[in-house]
């Protein structure tokens, strides 16, 4: 599934988090709306992110 399809699913279902399951119903991982948007537009920084992380991104 592409990030665009994931974004549409998040919007349609009005959720911010999803659990990926394998073919046997086992948990593969968790994805967030912020993670999907971050893949589309790049890293997102908000008031909860540390200044150290922001400084590391600026130095790249």
User: What pLDDT, in 10s, does the model give residues 45-54?
Assistant: 666 666 555 5
* CATH class given for the domain over 3-59: alpha beta
Q: Integer distance in angstroms from the first to the last C-alpha of the chain?
A: 30
pLDDT 10s digits, 32-41: 998 898 888 8
Residue 47 has a pLDDT of 67
* DSSP summary character for residue 25: S
| Separation CA 59–CA 53 (nearest Å) | 10
pTM here? 0.63
């Amino acid at each position: 599934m592409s990030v665009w399809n994931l974004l549409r699913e998040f919007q349609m279902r009005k959720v911010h988090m999803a659990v990926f399951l394998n073919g046997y119903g086992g948990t593969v991982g968790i994805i967030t709306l912020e993670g999907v948007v971050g893949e589309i537009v790049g890293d997102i920084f908000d008031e909860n992110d540390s200044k150290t992380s922001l400084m590391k991104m600026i130095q790249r």
